Amino acid sequence: MPEAPQTEGTVEPQAASAFDALAALTDEELLHACKPRLCAVCPVQKEATETKLRSLAEVDNARKRMAREKEDFSRFAAEGVLADIVPSLDNLDLALRHATPDEACKNFVLGVDMTRKLLLESLKKHGLETVGVVGEEFNPALHEAVGLEDFPGVEENHVGKLLGLGYKLHERLLRPARVVVCKRG
Protein backbone atom coordinates (compact mmCIF):
# COMPACT_ATOMS: atom_id res chain seq x y z
CA MET A 1 0.00 0.00 0.00
CA PRO A 2 1.40 3.29 -0.96
CA GLU A 3 2.06 5.87 1.69
CA ALA A 4 -0.35 8.72 1.88
CA PRO A 5 1.19 11.96 0.77
CA GLN A 6 1.88 14.37 3.61
CA THR A 7 0.17 17.66 3.49
CA GLU A 8 1.19 20.83 5.21
CA GLY A 9 0.15 20.76 8.86
CA THR A 10 0.44 17.02 9.36
CA VAL A 11 3.25 15.52 11.41
CA GLU A 12 4.72 12.04 11.21
CA PRO A 13 3.34 9.85 14.00
CA GLN A 14 6.86 9.16 15.41
CA ALA A 15 7.74 12.90 15.59
CA ALA A 16 4.33 13.72 17.03
CA SER A 17 4.81 11.28 19.91
CA ALA A 18 8.26 12.81 20.71
CA PHE A 19 6.75 16.28 20.59
CA ASP A 20 3.93 15.22 22.91
CA ALA A 21 6.49 13.69 25.31
CA LEU A 22 8.45 16.95 25.45
CA ALA A 23 5.28 18.99 25.88
CA ALA A 24 4.31 16.83 28.85
CA LEU A 25 7.53 17.74 30.72
CA THR A 26 7.53 20.53 33.27
CA ASP A 27 9.82 23.51 32.70
CA GLU A 28 12.21 22.22 35.34
CA GLU A 29 12.34 18.74 33.81
CA LEU A 30 12.85 20.23 30.35
CA LEU A 31 15.68 22.46 31.60
CA HIS A 32 17.29 19.48 33.34
CA ALA A 33 17.06 17.38 30.14
CA CYS A 34 18.32 20.05 27.73
CA LYS A 35 20.96 21.90 29.74
CA PRO A 36 23.72 19.22 29.59
CA ARG A 37 23.29 18.81 25.83
CA LEU A 38 22.93 22.42 24.74
CA CYS A 39 24.38 24.69 27.41
CA ALA A 40 27.58 22.78 28.04
CA VAL A 41 29.05 24.25 24.86
CA CYS A 42 26.91 27.40 24.69
CA PRO A 43 29.21 30.47 24.67
CA VAL A 44 26.44 32.66 26.10
CA GLN A 45 26.07 30.33 29.07
CA LYS A 46 29.84 30.22 29.59
CA GLU A 47 30.08 34.03 29.52
CA ALA A 48 27.10 34.37 31.87
CA THR A 49 28.72 31.93 34.31
CA GLU A 50 32.03 33.81 34.22
CA THR A 51 30.23 37.14 34.74
CA LYS A 52 28.29 35.66 37.65
CA LEU A 53 31.47 34.33 39.28
CA ARG A 54 33.28 37.66 38.81
CA SER A 55 30.33 39.51 40.32
CA LEU A 56 30.22 37.16 43.30
CA ALA A 57 33.95 37.64 43.85
CA GLU A 58 33.56 41.43 43.67
CA VAL A 59 30.71 41.36 46.18
CA ASP A 60 32.74 39.13 48.50
CA ASN A 61 35.77 41.43 48.25
CA ALA A 62 33.60 44.49 48.91
CA ARG A 63 32.07 42.77 51.95
CA LYS A 64 35.52 41.92 53.33
CA ARG A 65 36.78 45.46 52.67
CA MET A 66 33.76 46.97 54.44
CA ALA A 67 34.28 44.66 57.44
CA ARG A 68 37.96 45.69 57.62
CA GLU A 69 37.07 49.37 57.35
CA LYS A 70 34.41 49.00 60.04
CA GLU A 71 36.90 47.26 62.35
CA ASP A 72 39.55 49.95 61.70
CA PHE A 73 37.02 52.70 62.28
CA SER A 74 35.95 51.24 65.61
CA ARG A 75 39.56 50.62 66.70
CA PHE A 76 40.76 54.10 65.79
CA ALA A 77 37.60 56.14 66.41
CA ALA A 78 39.11 57.59 69.59
CA GLU A 79 42.35 58.66 67.88
CA GLY A 80 41.39 62.34 67.72
CA VAL A 81 40.28 62.46 71.35
CA LEU A 82 43.41 60.65 72.52
CA ALA A 83 45.62 62.99 70.51
CA ASP A 84 43.95 65.88 72.37
CA ILE A 85 44.56 64.20 75.76
CA VAL A 86 48.27 63.53 75.14
CA PRO A 87 49.32 67.16 75.87
CA SER A 88 47.57 66.89 79.25
CA LEU A 89 49.66 63.82 80.00
CA ASP A 90 52.75 65.82 78.98
CA ASN A 91 51.79 68.56 81.43
CA LEU A 92 51.33 66.04 84.25
CA ASP A 93 54.77 64.56 83.44
CA LEU A 94 56.26 68.06 83.41
CA ALA A 95 54.68 68.88 86.77
CA LEU A 96 56.10 65.70 88.28
CA ARG A 97 59.54 66.32 86.79
CA HIS A 98 59.75 69.82 88.26
CA ALA A 99 58.12 69.06 91.61
CA THR A 100 60.16 70.00 94.63
CA PRO A 101 60.85 67.46 97.34
CA ASP A 102 59.34 69.92 99.82
CA GLU A 103 57.27 68.22 102.56
CA ALA A 104 54.44 70.74 102.10
CA CYS A 105 54.02 69.72 98.43
CA LYS A 106 54.39 65.98 99.02
CA ASN A 107 50.64 65.21 99.02
CA PHE A 108 50.03 67.45 96.01
CA VAL A 109 52.77 65.69 94.00
CA LEU A 110 51.43 62.31 95.10
CA GLY A 111 47.94 63.32 93.88
CA VAL A 112 49.29 64.46 90.50
CA ASP A 113 51.21 61.18 90.14
CA MET A 114 48.13 59.10 91.03
CA THR A 115 45.99 61.10 88.58
CA ARG A 116 48.54 60.50 85.81
CA LYS A 117 48.68 56.76 86.53
CA LEU A 118 44.88 56.41 86.60
CA LEU A 119 44.56 58.33 83.34
CA LEU A 120 47.21 56.15 81.65
CA GLU A 121 45.53 52.95 82.93
CA SER A 122 42.16 54.10 81.58
CA LEU A 123 43.64 55.00 78.22
CA LYS A 124 45.53 51.70 78.08
CA LYS A 125 42.19 49.86 78.23
CA HIS A 126 41.30 51.63 74.98
CA GLY A 127 44.55 50.67 73.26
CA LEU A 128 46.89 53.58 74.10
CA GLU A 129 50.49 52.55 74.83
CA THR A 130 53.49 54.66 75.78
CA VAL A 131 56.61 54.58 73.59
CA GLY A 132 60.14 55.43 74.65
CA VAL A 133 62.39 54.07 77.38
CA VAL A 134 65.94 55.09 78.24
CA GLY A 135 68.34 52.35 77.16
CA GLU A 136 66.24 50.84 74.36
CA GLU A 137 67.62 50.71 70.84
CA PHE A 138 66.85 53.77 68.72
CA ASN A 139 64.07 53.06 66.22
CA PRO A 140 63.22 55.88 63.77
CA ALA A 141 59.72 54.45 63.38
CA LEU A 142 59.06 55.06 67.10
CA HIS A 143 61.55 57.77 68.13
CA GLU A 144 62.27 61.32 67.03
CA ALA A 145 65.96 62.01 67.59
CA VAL A 146 66.51 65.60 68.69
CA GLY A 147 70.19 65.23 69.43
CA LEU A 148 73.25 63.05 69.81
CA GLU A 149 75.27 62.82 73.01
CA ASP A 150 77.66 60.48 74.78
CA PHE A 151 76.00 58.83 77.79
CA PRO A 152 78.17 56.67 80.07
CA GLY A 153 76.67 53.23 80.62
CA VAL A 154 74.40 53.44 77.54
CA GLU A 155 75.17 51.53 74.35
CA GLU A 156 75.72 53.42 71.12
CA ASN A 157 72.55 53.98 69.01
CA HIS A 158 70.38 53.51 72.08
CA VAL A 159 68.18 56.08 73.80
CA GLY A 160 70.31 58.03 76.25
CA LYS A 161 67.73 60.57 77.39
CA LEU A 162 63.95 60.72 77.06
CA LEU A 163 62.64 64.25 76.47
CA GLY A 164 59.01 63.30 75.86
CA LEU A 165 57.04 60.07 75.76
CA GLY A 166 55.57 58.84 72.50
CA TYR A 167 52.17 57.20 72.17
CA LYS A 168 50.68 54.43 70.05
CA LEU A 169 47.01 53.59 69.58
CA HIS A 170 46.95 49.83 68.99
CA GLU A 171 49.67 49.51 66.31
CA ARG A 172 49.34 53.06 64.93
CA LEU A 173 51.83 55.68 66.15
CA LEU A 174 50.13 58.84 67.42
CA ARG A 175 53.32 60.62 68.33
CA PRO A 176 56.96 59.50 68.37
CA ALA A 177 59.01 59.68 71.56
CA ARG A 178 61.44 62.63 71.60
CA VAL A 179 64.86 61.28 72.50
CA VAL A 180 68.57 62.05 72.60
CA VAL A 181 70.55 59.17 71.07
CA CYS A 182 73.86 57.95 72.49
CA LYS A 183 76.81 58.44 70.13
CA ARG A 184 80.42 57.83 71.07
CA GLY A 185 83.22 60.26 70.26
* Residue ranges of domains in the chain: 13-75, 78-182
The residue type found at 39 is C
For domain 78-182, give its CATH number from 2.30.22.10, 3.40.50.720, 3.40.50.2300, 2.60.40.10: 2.30.22.10
Q: Let me know if 181 is exposed, middle or buried by CB neighbors in 10 A (0-12, 13-18, 19+).
A: buried
What does each of the 185 residues of the chain score in pLDDT, given as a tens digit?
Answer: 455 555 555 556 666 676 677 677 787 887 777 766 666 667 777 888 899 999 999 999 999 999 999 988 877 777 888 888 889 999 998 888 888 888 888 898 999 999 999 999 999 988 899 999 999 999 999 999 999 999 999 999 999 999 999 999 888 899 999 999 999 86
